[in-house]
Amino acid sequence: MLSEKTRSGVIKRGNPIDLGDVFDIDLYAEITETALREKGVDGVLIAHSYAFGDDSLLTRKFIRHCATLTGKYEKPVMFCIAGHKDDWFAMRNVADLPVFSNADDALAALSKSYEHFRNRAAKRGRLLRFAASERKTWMKSRLSPGFTPIQEVFELLKAYGLAVADHSIAKGFKGGLKIARSMGYPVALKSASPDMPHKTEKGAVILDIRDDAGLEKAFDRIKTGPFLLQKMAQPGCEVILGGRMDPEFGPVVLCGLGGIFTEVYNDVAIRVAPVDAETAEAMIEEIKGARILKGFRGKGSYDVKYLIASITNISRLLLDHPEIKTLDINPLILMKEGEGGLVVDAKVEAIQ
């Protein structure tokens, strides 16, 4: 094909293909489609220059054609274009394809696009299996719009394999007193109202209550029920998990270390669902504070295997429930190696 349509010595055959001074849009389109048909090709980056005028019109035609090829072969095509400055922004709006002026930016975007397409394939072939009875129960039950009551959130997380701190709902102090005595102190008291998603900022979270008198004071401070009573978790490493529905990529999953790592350093890792165990492990490795999980300055390592399983379970949950707008688990207390972890607080907002 190349030898028929180009002059000898002008082009370089191989990867990358260099067409020299040949300007033939039909040839470009033919080469692009041939490349996309190859099993060993995951995507195509086209570095293209043109003169203002008729070449501009032909270039637009080429971009639109490549947009159809992307849909046909389910492989990304990206452009790095050197063109006239008056034509640049219009060229970017020709079709739903990324157009760059810098080759490094284009290659970085192509890498991310490859990762996205790989995850889409995994969504069809590598979804993790869960207990059939629990999964069917929750797949039948679409969450109501707005913030989900905390009791339902905990039950949902438990159905997807996440352990939750011992808890119970109370209407007032008398009921709460019975629950606290049954659980055993120390306990935490929180508002269970779905209308108060930011409980800490509202002063509706009181921790480490150690006796009946402290519990009564806590009820007086929060005042409005319903109330959530929880057994205080043992010390561990605070982790945040969550996800949201992205309008372009669908469900995305997030993990990071809690406390200063998230609040100050924004130390989190994000992936498009589905997330398998291998990807979850890579997410953890990406976190700057990952060394803490593996044991730091003589401290024992935490249960990273449980964290990996929790991340994959959250991925499955988000895929099963596309109505979930945001999911925030903050924190999950990760225990020492082999001891698992406990969800202490979580909130879910479903799409209206």
Residue-wise pLDDT tens digits, 93-104: 888 888 888 889
Q: What is the mean pLDDT of the chain?
A: 84
Residue 43: pLDDT band by 50, 70, 90 thresholds? Answer: confident
Instruction: Report yes or no on 326 lying in a domain.
Output: yes
Q: What is the pTM of this model?
A: 0.67
Residue 1 has pLDDT above 60, yes or no: no
Q: Which domain holds residue 330?
A: 237-350
pLDDT at residue 51 greater than cutoff 80: no
Q: What is the per-residue pLDDT for 125? A: 53
Q: Supply the DSSP symbol for 102.
A: -
Query: Mean of the pLDDT values across residues 63-88?
Result: 85
Residues 7 and 106 in one domain: yes
Say whether both 21 and 119 belong to one domain. Answer: yes
Residue recorded with tokens 């508002």: 191
Average pLDDT over residues 313-331: 94
Residues 224 and 326 in one domain: no
Residues 307 and 261 both lie in one domain:
yes
For residues 245 and 222, membership in a common domain is answered with: no
Predicted confidence at residue 135, as pLDDT, reads: 47
Same-domain status, 36 and 52: yes
Q: What are phi and psi of 228, to 5 degrees?
A: -110, 125
Residue 309 in this model has a pLDDT that exceeds 80: yes
Number of domains in the chain: 3
Q: Which residue has the higher pLDDT, 138 or 13?
A: 13
The Cα 344–Cα 154 span in angstroms is 9
Examine residue 264 and state whether it is found in any structural domain, yes or no. Answer: yes
pLDDT above 80: residue 178 = yes
Q: What percent of the chain has pLDDT over 70?
A: 84
Q: What is the mean pLDDT of residues 70-81?
A: 88
pLDDT at 328 over 90: yes
Q: What's the pLDDT band for 119 if we cut at 50, 70, 90?
A: low
How far is 87 from 90, CA to CA, in rounded Å?
A: 6
Contact residues for 288 (Cβ-Cβ < 8 A; gap 6+): 261, 265, 267
Residue 22 sits in a domain whose CATH number is 3.40.50.261
Query: Torsion angle, CA of 180/182/184/188, rounded to 10 degrees?
Result: -30
Residue 26 lies in a domain: yes
Give the angle 112-117-121 at the CA atoms, nearest 5°: 145
- Predicted confidence band of residue 85 (pLDDT cuts 50, 70, 90): confident
Contact between 277 and 312 under an 8 Å Cβ cutoff? The reply is yes
Does 345 fall in a domain?
yes
CATH number of domain containing 333: 3.30.470.20
pLDDT average, residue stretch 113-133: 55
CATH number of the domain encompassing residue 206: 3.30.1490.20
Q: What are the tokens at 47? A: 């570095």
Residue 278 carries which side chain, given as an amino acid letter? Answer: E
> Would strands 146-147 and 346-350 be described as parallel, antiparallel, or unpaired?
antiparallel
Higher pLDDT pick, 248 / 283: 283
Q: Which residues of 199-232 are buried (b: 16+ CB within 10 A; e: fewer)?
A: beeeebbbeebeeeebbeebbeebeebbbbbbbb
Residues 121 and 38 in one domain: yes
Backbone angles phi, psi at 104, to 5 degrees: -65, -40
If one compares 126 and 255, the residue with the highest pLDDT of the two is: 255
The pLDDT value given to residue 282: 93
Residue 132 has pLDDT above 50, yes or no: no
Q: What DSSP designation does 85 have?
A: G
Distance, in Å, from the CA atom of 253 to the CA atom of 330, rounded to the nearest integer, reads: 14
- Per-residue pLDDT at 223: 83
Q: Are residues 226 and 256 in the same domain?
A: no
Residue-level pLDDT at 170: 94
Do 269 and 319 lie in a common domain?
yes
Let me know whether 268 and 336 are in one domain. yes
pLDDT at 50 over 90: no
> In this predicted structure, which of 110-124, 129-143, 304-318 has the lowest mean pLDDT?
129-143
Which of 199, 232, 265 is the last residue in one of the domains? Answer: 232
Say yes or no: 17 and 79 in one domain. yes
